[in-house]
Structure 1
Amino acid sequence: MTENVLLAAHMTAAGLTQCELAQRLNVHGERLTGKPAHVTDRHIRNWLTGKTRWPQERLRLALEAEFGVPILDLGFVPRSSGTTSEGGTCTPASEDSVKRRTFTTATASLTAAMLPAPMAVARPRVGMRDVRELETAFGQLVAADNSDGGTIKLETRALAFAQHALERQTVGSATDRVRSHLYRLAAAFTGTALWAAVDDRRPDRAQRHLERALTLAGLSGNEDVKLRLWSHASLLAAQRPGGSSEAIAAAQVARSSPACRRDPLYASLAATRLAGVHSQSGEERIALRTLDQARAAFDRADLDLPRPAWIAFFDEAELHGLSGLITTEVGRHGEAEAQFHRALSRLRPQYRRNRTYYTVHLALAQLRQGAVDQACTTALTVLPGRDGGSLTGRIDRLFARFDRIIETKRRPASAAEWTERYTERVGRRT
């Protein structure tokens, strides 16, 4: 059983096997210390299983260099003074009780920071209480995505929860119903990692998550989560050069899901995604016809029905936002501007990432209609300063696209503020 789920999640996100990680750490170790690190796959196994909870300093430095995060964010727990790391001498027996208390406290703190506290205690039987706790954690990750977008932190936490959902089944006995729920949740968490990688435009990582998530969804037998994954698969394929045919195929699989036949809201989302990839492929008539079908399905949906947390984002505001993206692709920039205005006027406060995303698209729509002053004013309302935190890959690229277009214009004086603040944000002109 994997004890260090954070390290496992970072390895999964990077696509590293134990042997590959050992090789990379040896390179980092020699570069940092000037001496061979002698890391083997046995070291990695010991870290993952929790047999070794605090590596030697040279290995900690190598791990931080490899993953770019502090050692504590990789799930390792510092030992108190007098205790050695792997390869060192044994702790004196007289200190055993102190060490156990220190270790127990540190481990509990780490686990509580990542998982709901009730799940930290292993029980002989896994039941619906475990499922509900994981559902709560899933909702929290969805909320984090809505606020901040897809980040490596969100991605690795989602993978850690997915692994935890699977390992709940090894703790004790569970009914078939509970096992199905746990597979569904593992697929849902992995789907969140997939979406985070898509949002951050990391297609290689996203593809690995997609394949894993589809396997887990198949084991769960849950059609709702399959629809979500195929919808993400469509967006992933659309990011790749020449991926339009695959994007359309994936969107069609999502639209044919039994979940769409059962619930018009699912049908509306799937049709909107399909319309989007048709518009990106230059198929204007098909895209607009499919978008009309999406709107009709949305009008039939009962928005008050209970549904999974992941689809809570798809409301009237989101439909207008996605409609704006589609009409932009087919060159109807005036209509797109109106759709983005409608989206932003209806968007709920917690959807901060989407507010930034659609505001930049609104500015681009204004810019394409020649309203340079207005476009710069719009874009500046959501451009953070240099210390304003990181943005996901999609939004950073949107800002860069807007800036490139501004550079090609005969810029009025009002664009000077944009140029100054964007240069401050990125540190240099792109």
Structure 2
Amino acid sequence: MAKTRNADLAAWMKQRQMSANELAGAVNDTIRGFTGRAGTTSERTVFRWLSGENRWPQERQRRALQTVTGLSATALGFLPRGKHQSVPALPEVPDVRRRRFCSAATGAAAAAVTPAPRPSRVGTSDVIRLRDDVERLVALDASRGGHNTLEQAALAGAGEALSLQGKSTTQRVRQRLYALASDFTATAAWSLIDAGQLDGAGRHLDRALTLAGLAQDSEMAMQVWNLRAMLARQRKRYPEAVAAAQAAQATAVVRRSPLHASLAQARVAVGLVHSGNSRAALRCLDRAEDALAKADPAGPRATWISFYGPAELYALTAIVRDVAGHPAEAEAASHRALAALPGSYRRNRAHTTARLALAQLHQDDIDQACATSGTVFTIMDGAPLPGRMRQLLGDFQRDLIARAPTARIAHEWSDRYRTEWSPS
């Protein structure tokens, strides 16, 4: 029978940016947990799985793969043959962290579920489990936005990553744990920024940058500088926002990744336009578009930058155009952003819709702007509005009253939505 490449396993590894050697180490570490002795899976073994030369791993390896990935062997693309054809699937492996972080999604405390006992040795499999926790927090943020439970869950994840340092088996694992701690801490900072609670975000970002340095990870450093630029803009410290975005541009990951280069250019553009330099901001937007056109949309990417693509660049373009005094172009960019946004990005959709309403308002299309802004609450479907979104709607309300102080629709908008967008 001709060999068929195992595309499912390859896709899982690509999504998590995991090498064959790292997967082999994770499998061996997990087998140690079962038997007390490390497995003998090698990098060559993984290559044979990927090529289709070995289409059905040994039982211990299958069990370890299920523990590491959370997927059955068949879901990973393996095909039982011969006597294995009727072998039942291994029982599902409980995922304590998944239950803990899902409880955060419903508003319960992040520590409501007791963590599993920490292993005596720490390896790649532990890194994978913590990375999955980061992904769940990012998914929660995309749906609901920043809030205190998300911050606390992220800090708990950072604490766990750091607590495993003393038990890590290799220098590479130790660096990855520092990178994960930085990622978690930056996520906590972002939660505060999005919630409009800016005072504590800077401390989290200082800590996240230190951890990124310990990890020697330019990807995490770029994430921190990107958030630092956003925080400075929220505080209306526009020269600092530009400087932070330029620091992001200087990271090594930007030099090798068009995707990261595009985001850094767009962030500089936002800082520049708020500083009054619209012409330079528009040039940066052009460079951001050129860089994004060179990025591989299907390429592997870190979880924190999964939000960035054409939709986010259109949304940032809308901000730059509106601040630069081009509301018609801002409206068009917002429409393009909404058309390109994935369905799971509810918070981003609501925020972009609010920006669209502002662009319409700045063209004196009062009725349409009020109708558009009202859909923000429909999109959020009763979920609390993050502070950053409330602030944007507050800007809309102030501009609405300023442009139409005697219009009945302006007062009706305020009467109808004040309780929904005002802080509780």
Native 8 Å contact 1:386 1:425 kept in 2: no
How far the C-alpha of 1:405 sits from its partner, in A, is 2.2
**Structure 2 equivalent of residue 136 of structure 1:** 132
| Distance of aligned partners of 1:399 and 1:329 in 2 relative to their CA distance in 1, 3 Å threshold | same
167, 175, 178: which one aligns with 2:170: 175
137, 142, 145: which one aligns with 2:141: 145
| Distance of aligned partners of 1:111 and 1:124 in 2 relative to their CA distance in 1, 3 Å threshold | farther
**Structure 1 equivalent of residue 15 of structure 2:** none
Q: Secondary structure of the residue that 1:291 maps to in structure 2?
A: helix
Query: In the TM superposition, what whole-angstrom CA distance separates every residue of 1:307-332 from its partner, at most 9, and x where no partner exists?
Result: 11111111111111111011111111
| Distance of aligned partners of 1:391 and 1:123 in 2 relative to their CA distance in 1, 3 Å threshold | same
**Structure 1 equivalent of residue 95 of structure 2:** none
Native 8 Å contact 1:244 1:277 kept in 2: yes
Native 8 Å contact 1:363 1:378 kept in 2: yes
For 2:185, give the aligned amino acid.
T
**Structure 2 equivalent of residue 293 of structure 1:** 287
233, 240, 246: which one aligns with 2:235: 240
**Structure 1 equivalent of residue 420 of structure 2:** 425
Q: Provide structure 2 residue ranges, at least 5 long, that are not aligned to the other structure.
A: 1-98, 104-109
Native 8 Å contact 1:210 1:229 kept in 2: yes
**Structure 2 equivalent of residue 105 of structure 1:** none
Give the ranges of 4+ consecutive aligned residues of structure 1 lying more than 6 Å apart after TM superposition.
Answer: 109-112, 115-119
Is 1:345 equivalent to 2:347 in the alignment? no
How far the C-alpha of 1:239 sits from its partner, in A, is 2.2
Is 1:383 equivalent to 2:389 in the alignment? no
Between the aligned partners of 1:424 and 1:210, the Cα distance in structure 2 is: 32
For 1:149, give the aligned amino acid.
G
For 1:223, give the aligned amino acid.
S
Between the aligned partners of 1:201 and 1:427, the Cα distance in structure 2 is: 12
Is 1:398 equivalent to 2:387 in the alignment? no
161, 164, 167: which one aligns with 1:165: 161
How far the C-alpha of 1:237 sits from its partner, in A, is 1.6
Native 8 Å contact 1:320 1:340 kept in 2: yes
RMSD: 2.8
Query: In the TM superposition, what whole-angstrom CA distance separates every residue of 1:233-260 from its partner, at most 9, and x where no partner exists?
Result: 111122224x222211111110111101
Deviates more, 1:112-121 or 1:343-352: 112-121
| Distance of aligned partners of 1:282 and 1:126 in 2 relative to their CA distance in 1, 3 Å threshold | same
193, 198, 201: which one aligns with 1:198: 193
Between the aligned partners of 2:399 and 2:101, the Cα distance in structure 1 is: 47
Native 8 Å contact 1:116 1:133 kept in 2: no
Between the aligned partners of 2:322 and 2:192, the Cα distance in structure 1 is: 24
TM-score calculated relative to the size of structure 1: 0.70
308, 328, 333: which one aligns with 1:314: 308
Between the aligned partners of 2:157 and 2:380, the Cα distance in structure 1 is: 32
The alignment-based identity, stated in percent, is: 43
276, 284, 307: which one aligns with 2:278: 284
| Distance of aligned partners of 1:365 and 1:411 in 2 relative to their CA distance in 1, 3 Å threshold | farther
Native 8 Å contact 2:351 2:389 kept in 1: yes
Between the aligned partners of 2:280 and 2:240, the Cα distance in structure 1 is: 17
Between the aligned partners of 1:387 and 1:307, the Cα distance in structure 2 is: 30
Count of residue correspondences: 322
Q: Provide structure 1 residue ranges, at least 5 long, that are not aligned to the other structure.
A: 1-108
